[in-house]
Amino acid sequence: MSGDGGGTGNTAYGRKAFRRSTAHFTDRITADGRDGWPVEAGRYRLVVSRACPWASRAVISRRLLGLEDALSLAIADPLQDDRSWRFTLDPDGRDPVLGIRYLSEAYDRRETGYPGGVSVPAIVDVPSGKLVTNDYQRITLDFATEWTALHRDGAPDLYPQALRDEIDEVTAEVYEDVNNGVYRAGFATGQEEYEAACAAVFRRLELLARRLERQRYLVGDTITEADIRLFTTLVRFDAVYHGHFKCNRWKLTENRVLWGYVRDLYQTPGFGDTVDFDHIKRHYYQVHTGINPTGVVPLGPDLSGWLTPHHREELGGRPFGDGTPPGPVRAGEEVPARGRP
């Protein structure tokens, strides 16, 4: 998630339609180390912002799979300056493991003078201090398939082999119309461009609601990568996309199926306990000055509904399949009270 466009990877907007560039650093951390980066406990650090939906995918996946002991976590300030994501939440404004003030320093160690945006999620090699990857589309898939030797006992299969084609198809549609669609609407600079993007968002949400009316999860009867990717947009919908990005045909709370679905996930260990509504709201409303030049952060919406009964268990399904829920949130990684319902 880069400051100019509010998303992972480079973004561009202005007189032309919003577009999201692909990740520039696409090395993979794999079991066999074929790109030069072998899976190794304690070697890497995951840098995220709790404000960013793309980074939140990695935070949720890491927690569900139990990779906390193997892969440390750095949480950036939700507000950036022109030098990129900063570690002002840490003592002395430095990440305690990497020793840097700005994520851009890890990018510079990888490629001096890199002209693109500095984005999260990012995985940094601790010994060298170099960025390894900012490939937000691939990171969570590799967590699920390449990091298996370091998964916790009872970790769910988030990308089951038999369902991968269907997961890929669903996530591609969700990405185009929902994950990225809200940004196309929010950063539109023309009426027609905005209306087309906004219409596509709600058209896809309505199709998803029909699908989820008869099944608890998007693909199969357990939580998969598809649910993680949809959740990170839905959980931000009423707080920022409805007002800030003008995706306001209706609120998520007004759609019985989607509101029940996202509450079900929010109340599932590994999802809601990673969400910081304070970081989310402050980032979008204070960083996107082109959309909200005053920087005023709204008081609402009311968050108390997130903890109300959803009754989705009536549809069956097994959240973790043959596995088990993750344990308590790791000490030091808890979401502060001001960011929770």
Residues with catalytic annotation? 52, 183
Q: Based on DSSP, count helices (H) and strands (E) in the chain, helices before strands.
A: 9, 6
Q: How far apart are the first and last CA of the chain?
A: 24
Task: Assess contact for 23 and 133: CB atoms under 8 A.
Answer: yes
Segments in the chain forming alpha helices (H): 53-65, 104-110, 136-145, 164-174, 181-186, 191-212, 225-234, 256-266, 277-287
The token duo for 53 is 């939906």
Q: Which amino acid is it at 2?
A: S
> What is d(CA 54, CA 68) in angstroms, rounded to the nearest whole number?
18
Instruction: Of 339, 330, 320, 139, give the one whose Cα is nearest residue 235.
Output: 339
